[in-house]
């Protein structure tokens, strides 16, 4: 029963001849596009992002000391191996941009939404394969532009990933705000176009291409998460596009949307009547939902992985869906909590405090439901499961400090300190990363038809987990000691001298965490070629992707598409010999669905 269902093997309805270019480059097949996102978004950009954070951490731990890596990697920006202050800010900016947008938005959603939406819903492909291809190539252009911006004469954008004007608007304020910022903005315009096309495609596919029997309440939680993520993306990304366009106009055509009354380098500029706070509102109107665009897919993946490897239905399926929807709704009305101290009306601050702290409720529901899913499970500690448990752990640790930051009165003193850095890295950075890694380990057999080495996976997880807590746990405390973020060095403040040793410890953990990713990289690449061939359904999972043809064919299933008769979490259901019942197995007579 559990094995691969041979639907009519000779039927090759959707298989047509493909050239190298249509198969590997301008592919319209969702599985190939998922891999393209994986390699461009996650691996290529991920490596750049991690390297940047390693450079920053070394600078913070051993400030203004010559460093062989700086000499080697930064060249003229590190004269005699000492990092330049401008390039430190550029690293901060590019690390943030690359990680948030390229790795955790496009990389995460692009890979898993593309791979899983058709496969788990029982669809031959996305609603529009062509649009999907265009979305990827727009993303690729955006990647090329963003990477190119690192190499321009005056350096890349350096105004922080939030690019608040006037710093980002005026070349006199900072060299990175010249060509580097122009490329950043153009790259983001392409990125947003890509993201919108991708999201629309996901939404349409989920609404229209579900196989027979796949009602909305029989969809795996992964699909629910991707679906809602796509909706938030379509609502909020256009606002960033408008902000970026207005900023481009301020920069290049002399308009004054965000600028007013500026005296810089001995001259008064002509700008009048604009407001940087307006930009902050527009930016965070995307910026906060963006956090959930990053987090929700990871939540979805964790739900799926935890249920599968605990051999137990996800606890409170409907509550999980409702909490995803609640989080998504709330995420669009809390952006002001990034702006408590911008001079925004204090009453508005109260409203945003209220809505922000409400998010803790659906989040608590999710955390407790995960924990209850583990209770009385039969937990199989495969690598994806480790990362999924790690995800729940960092989601809780990171999420709890949100109660401090979301509280306007408390935010006054920890705003823009390392406390914030610790909070968001744990709750969205590390959590989303864990979700993504869980996903890669879990669906690697689908992606490449091979198994990853489990022992290397274990090493990868435990070293990463220790590093993540080692880096971000102490960081909360140096933030509470008042250390501002984005400082090139703290040596001008003797007040913070007693934090220097902590910063060195943090850097050690960070370098350890970065280094162990090489193990993952090796495990990933080696096994594509030399890995053990994966069985059809190695994790004994119930969802449809494990019934699809293992050899990647256009159309996913040879012959007919499977029909769905039950919800996706029939693990260890009484009355069955096996501890899982796939979705396409009809209900027995008198059997209740759940």
Binding positions for other proteins, 172-191, rule CB under 8 A: 173-174
Q: Is 317 in the site for other proteins (CB under 8 A)?
A: yes
Q: How many residues of this chain bind other proteins (CB under 8 A)?
A: 143
Q: Least Å distance between CB 488 and other proteins?
A: 4
355 Cα distance to chain centroid: 23
H or E segment to which residue 264 belongs = strand 263-264
Q: Which residues of 129-144 are buried (b: 16+ CB within 10 A; e: fewer)?
A: bebbbbbbbbbbbbbe
Q: Is 266 in the site for other proteins (CB under 8 A)?
A: yes
Which structure tokens are listed for 195? Answer: 């993201």
> Rule CB under 8 A: which of 128-157 touch other proteins?
none
> Rule CB under 8 A: which of 415-434 touch other proteins?
415-417
Cβ closest to other proteins, residue 150 vs residue 319: 319
Nearest Cα neighbor of 227 from 325, 360, 108 is 325
Scanning 25-33, 139-147, 297-305, 512-520 for contacts with other proteins by CB under 8 A, the matching segment is 512-520
Cα 567 to Cα 44, 92, 388, 546, distances in angstroms: 37, 44, 21, 15
Cβ closest to other proteins, residue 207 vs residue 515: 515
Q: Is 23 in the site for other proteins (CB under 8 A)?
A: no
Q: Is 583 in the site for other proteins (CB under 8 A)?
A: no
Q: Least Å distance between CB 197 and other proteins?
A: 32
Task: Sketch the per residue contact string, 61 through 90, with other proteins: x for CB under 8 A, - otherwise.
Answer: -x----xxx---------------xx--x-
DSSP state of 162: T
Q: What are 38-41's contacts with CB under 8 Å, separation 24+?
A: 38/107, 38/110, 38/111, 38/440, 38/447, 40/106, 40/107, 40/139, 40/140, 40/143, 41/102, 41/103, 41/106, 41/107, 41/108, 41/110, 41/111, 41/139, 41/143
Half-sphere exposure of 165 (CA within 13 A, CB side): 32
Cβ closest to other proteins, residue 204 vs residue 358: 358
What is the Cα–Cα distance from 377 to 579, expressed in whole angstroms?
A: 11
Q: Least Å distance between CB 144 and other proteins?
A: 26
Among 5, 73, 511, 521, binds other proteins (CB under 8 A): 511
Among 500, 550, 559, 591, binds other proteins (CB under 8 A): 500
Q: Least Å distance between CB 250 and other proteins?
A: 12
DSSP state of 263: E
What is the Cα–Cα distance from 275 to 166, expressed in whole angstroms?
A: 9
Among 6, 9, 76, 375, binds other proteins (CB under 8 A): 375
Among 413, 525, 586, 587, binds other proteins (CB under 8 A): 413
> Rule CB under 8 A: which of 532-551 touch other proteins?
532, 535, 538-539
Q: Is 443 in the site for other proteins (CB under 8 A)?
A: no
Q: Least Å distance between CB 327 and other proteins?
A: 13
What is the Cα–Cα distance from 323 to 305, expressed in whole angstroms?
A: 18
Half-sphere exposure of 349 (CA within 13 A, CB side): 16
> Rule CB under 8 A: which of 226-255 touch other proteins?
none
Among 148, 154, 248, 379, binds other proteins (CB under 8 A): 379
Burial class (CB in 10 A: 0-12, 13-18, 19+), 6: exposed
Task: Sketch the per residue contact string, 191 through 230, with other proteins: x for CB under 8 A, - otherwise.
Answer: ----------------------------------------
Scanning 113-121, 185-193, 196-204, 488-496 for contacts with other proteins by CB under 8 A, the matching segment is 488-496
Burial class (CB in 10 A: 0-12, 13-18, 19+), 263: exposed
Among 123, 145, 295, 516, binds other proteins (CB under 8 A): 516
Which structure tokens are listed for 225? Answer: 């998460």
Cβ closest to other proteins, residue 136 vs residue 271: 271
Cβ closest to other proteins, residue 128 vs residue 342: 342
Q: Least Å distance between CB 147 and other proteins?
A: 22
Scanning 114-122, 133-141, 236-244, 493-501 for contacts with other proteins by CB under 8 A, the matching segment is 493-501
Cβ closest to other proteins, residue 502 vs residue 550: 502
Which structure tokens are listed for 64? Answer: 């203004």
Cα 69 to Cα 66, 240, 331, 493, 516, distances in angstroms: 9, 35, 40, 26, 18
Which structure tokens are listed for 246? Answer: 């207005």
Q: Least Å distance between CB 311 and other proteins?
A: 4
Among 140, 164, 329, 448, binds other proteins (CB under 8 A): 164
What is the Cα–Cα distance from 437 to 167, expressed in whole angstroms?
A: 36
């Amino acid at each position: 029963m559990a094995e691969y269902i041979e639907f009519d093997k000779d039927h090759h309805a959707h298989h047509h001849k493909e050239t190298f270019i249509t198969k590997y480059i301008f592919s319209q097949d969702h599985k190939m596009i998922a891999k393209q996102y994986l390699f461009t978004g996650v691996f290529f950009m991920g490596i750049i992002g991690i390297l940047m954070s390693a450079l920053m951490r070394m600078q913070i731990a051993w400030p203004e000391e010559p460093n062989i890596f700086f000499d080697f990697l930064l060249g003229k920006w590190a004269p005699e191996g000492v990092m330049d202050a401008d390039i430190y800010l550029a690293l901060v900016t590019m690390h943030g941009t690359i990680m948030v947008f390229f790795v955790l938005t496009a990389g995460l959603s692009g890979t898993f939404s593309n791979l899983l939406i058709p496969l788990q819903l029982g669809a031959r492909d996305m609603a529009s394969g062509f649009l999907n291809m265009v979305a990827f190539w727009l993303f690729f252009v955006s990647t090329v532009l963003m990477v190119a911006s690192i190499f321009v004469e005056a350096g890349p954008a350096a105004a922080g990933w939030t690019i608040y004007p006037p710093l980002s608007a005026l070349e006199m304020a900072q060299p990175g705000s010249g060509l580097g910022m122009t490329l950043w903005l153009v790259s983001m315009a392409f990125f947003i176009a890509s993201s919108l096309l991708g999201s629309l495609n996901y939404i349409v596919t989920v609404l229209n291409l579900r196989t027979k029997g796949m009602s909305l309440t029989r969809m795996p939680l992964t699909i629910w998460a991707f679906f809602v993520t796509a909706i938030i993306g379509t609502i909020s990304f256009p606002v960033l596009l408008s902000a970026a366009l207005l900023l481009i106009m301020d920069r290049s055509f002399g308009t004054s949307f965000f600028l007013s009354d500026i005296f810089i380098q001995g001259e008064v500029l002509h700008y009048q009547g604009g407001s940087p706070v307006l930009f902050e509102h527009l930016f965070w109107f995307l910026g906060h939902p963006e956090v959930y665009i990053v987090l929700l897919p990871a939540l979805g993946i964790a739900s799926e992985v935890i249920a599968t490897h605990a051999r137990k239905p996800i606890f409170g399926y409907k509550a999980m869906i409702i909490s995803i929807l609640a989080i998504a709704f709330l995420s669009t009305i809390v952006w002001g909590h990034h702006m408590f101290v911008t001079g925004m009306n204090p009453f508005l601050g109260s409203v945003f405090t209220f809505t922000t702290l409400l998010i803790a409720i659906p989040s608590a529901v999710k955390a407790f439901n995960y924990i209850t899913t583990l209770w009385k499970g039969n937990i199989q500690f495969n690598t994806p499961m480790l990362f999924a448990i790690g995800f729940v752990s960092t989601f809780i640790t990171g999420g709890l400090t949100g109660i401090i930051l979301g509280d306007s009165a408390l935010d006054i003193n920890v705003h823009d300190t390392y406390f914030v850095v610790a909070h968001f890295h744990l709750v969205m950075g590390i959590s989303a990363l864990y979700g993504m890694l869980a996903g890669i380990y879990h669906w690697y057999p689908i992606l490449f038809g091979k198994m990853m080495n489990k022992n290397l996976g274990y090493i990868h997880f435990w070293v990463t987990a220790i590093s993540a807590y080692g880096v971000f746990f102490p960081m909360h405390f140096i933030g509470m000691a008042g250390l501002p973020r984005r400082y090139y060095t703290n040596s001008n403040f003797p007040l913070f001298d007693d934090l220097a040793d902590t910063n060195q410890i943090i850097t050690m953990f960070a370098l350890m965490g970065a280094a162990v990713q090489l193990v993952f990289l090796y495990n990933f690449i080696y096994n594509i070629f030399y890995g053990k061939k994966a069985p059809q359904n190695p994790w004994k999972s119930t969802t449809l992707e494990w019934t699809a043809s293992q050899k990647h064919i256009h159309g996913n299933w040879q012959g007919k598409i499977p029909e769905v008769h039950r919800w996706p979490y029939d693990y260890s259901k009484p009355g069955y010999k096996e501890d899982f019942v796939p979705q396409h197995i009809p209900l027995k007579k008198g059997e209740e669905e759940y």
